[in-house]
Amino acid sequence: MRAIMETLFDAVYLITVITLGITMILKCRGNRQYCLFGIMAVVLGLGDSFHLIPRAYALCTTGLENYTAALGIGKFITSITMTLFYIILYYVWRLRYHVEGKKGITYAVYLFGILRIALCLFPQNRWTAADAPLSWGIYRNIPFTVLGVLIIVLFYKSAREKQDALFQNMWLTIVISFGFYIPVVLFADAVPMIGMLMIPKTCAYVWTVLIGFHAMKKENENR
């Protein structure tokens, strides 16, 4: 039952975000913000598929323990694409709020993004091992979390200052995603049930994509 339910959930998630992303790219009507948002959604879905598809296959066949290497490689790819997701979201923020300059913020986004990716590349992560060290899971997620907090602050402040009703909850979706993700990083190996928190985390990312999609639809209707 777990295999069926989790596989269905993951399939709906991947199809939803990739479909919404492609739709936004095709129907953005030249609006760079929504084209970029669509690319971001596709990056999210395709990146997560490298981990979720092998996971679904493992659950429906001989079990996760027999696909450790494939799942580890998928997790590695997802770690990279999630970093790219937030870098792209930063540029969505710049386009939406017509931000000029702010080189310090841009440097910070790239610093934490590159640091995150660099830490993911270290062999000490042991991505394909069954006993990958928790310490490196923490190391690589420190700059990722800082990057996420930075994006949260940017969207929170800008949405309030501009009274942007369409994006008023963007910051909250990121807070929720990190709120459920961090306990998984810290405790899932010791308490496997904590891994279930990835479900609301995933729902938060769907909400993120839906915010952009509905904003595009509303603004297109008003043109």
Domain containing 13 — which CATH number?
1.20.1070.10
- Kindly report, residue by residue over 92-139, the tens digit of the pLDDT: 999 999 999 999 999 999 999 999 999 999 999 999 998 899 999 999
Distance of CA 4 to the CA centre of its chain: 24
**203 pLDDT higher than 90:** yes
Closest CA to 209 of 6, 5, 10, 25: 25
Q: Which residue shows structure tokens 């991947």?
A: 14
Question: CA–CA separation, 76 vs 70, rounded Å?
Answer: 10
Question: CA–CA separation, 67 vs 55, rounded Å?
Answer: 8
Question: CA–CA separation, 101 vs 187, rounded Å?
Answer: 40
Query: Looking at per-residue confidence, does 1 or 69 come out higher?
Result: 69
Counted domains in the chain: 1
Question: CA–CA separation, 145 vs 82, rounded Å?
Answer: 11
Query: Looking at per-residue confidence, does 212 or 188 come out higher?
Result: 212
Query: Which domain does 134 fall in, by range?
Result: 2-221
Give me the mean pLDDT over the 169-182 stretch: 96
Closest CA to 47 of 79, 71, 21: 79
**179 pLDDT higher than 80:** yes
Contacts 24+ apart (CB under 8 A), 200-205: 200/176, 201/176, 201/177, 202/9, 202/13, 204/173, 204/174, 204/176, 204/177, 204/180, 205/17, 205/44, 205/173, 205/177
Mean pLDDT of the chain: 93
Closest CA to 175 of 196, 193, 150: 150
- Kindly report, residue by residue over 185-201, the tens digit of the pLDDT: 888 777 778 888 889 99
Name the residue type at position 56: A
